[in-house]
Chain A
Amino acid sequence: MGSNDIIEIDHVYFSYDGLPVLQDVNITIKERDFLAIIGPNGGGKTTILRLILGLLEPDKGTIRVFGRTPKQARRLIGYLPQQFTFDFDFPISVMEIVLMGRLGKRGVGKKYTHEDIKICLQALEKVGMQSFKEREIGNLSGGQRQRVLIARALTSEPRLLLLDEPVSSVDTQWQQSFYELLHDLNKEIAIVLVTHDVSVISTYIDKIACLNRRLYYHGSKEEGIRKISELYECPVHLITHGPSQYSPEERIDD
Chain B
Amino acid sequence: MGHRNIHLRSALMIEALQYEFMRNALVAAVLVSIACGIVGTFIVIKRIVFISGGITHAAFGGIGLGYLLGINPVLTAIPFSLVSALGIGVVSKRTKISEDAAIGILWTVGMALGILFVGLSPGYAPDLFSYLFGSILTVPFTDIIIMLILDLIIIATVLLLYKELQALSFDEEFSEIAGVPTQTLYLVLLCLVALSIIVLIRVVGIVLVIALLTIPTTIVKQFTHKLRSLILYSAICAVILTVAGLWFSYLFDLPSGATIVLLLASVFLISALIKRL
Binding site for B on A (CB under 8 A): 53, 55, 74-75, 77, 79, 81, 85-87, 89-93, 96-97, 99-104, 108-109, 111-112, 136-139, 152, 156
Contacts and interface: CB of A to CB of B under 8 A. Distances in A.
Contacts, number: 81
Interface in B155-209: 160-161, 163-164, 166-167, 169-171, 173-181, 185
B226 A93 contact: yes
Interface of B: 45, 47, 160-161, 163-164, 166-167, 169-171, 173-181, 185, 221, 224-227, 229-230
Nearest to A139: B225
Nearest to A155: B178
Nearest to A101: B178
B96 to A, nearest CB: 9
A103 B178 CA distance: 6
A103 B180 contact: yes
Contacts of A90: 45, 169-170
14 contacts: A75-B177, A77-B177, A90-B45, A90-B170, A91-B229, A99-B163, A100-B171, A100-B178, A103-B164, A103-B167, A103-B178, A104-B180, A108-B185, A112-B163
B163 A103 contact: yes
Contacts of A81: 171, 173-174
Interface residues of chain B: helix, strand, loop or mixed (majority): helix
Given A90-B45, A91-B224, A92-B227, A100 B176 contact: no
B228 to A, nearest CB: 9
| Interface class of chain A by DSSP | mixed
A87 B44 CA distance: 12
A100 B176 CA distance: 11
Contacts of B225: 89, 91-93, 136-139
A72 to B, nearest CB: 11
Contacts of B178: 75, 100-104, 156
B230 A91 contact: yes
Given A74-B177, A103-B179, A108-B161, 17 more contacts: A55-B173, A55-B176, A55-B177, A86-B171, A89-B221, A91-B226, A96-B227, A100-B175, A103-B163, A103-B178, A103-B180, A104-B179, A108-B164, A108-B180, A109-B160, A136-B225, A138-B225
Nearest to B231: A91
Contacts of B160: 109
Contacts of A89: 221, 225
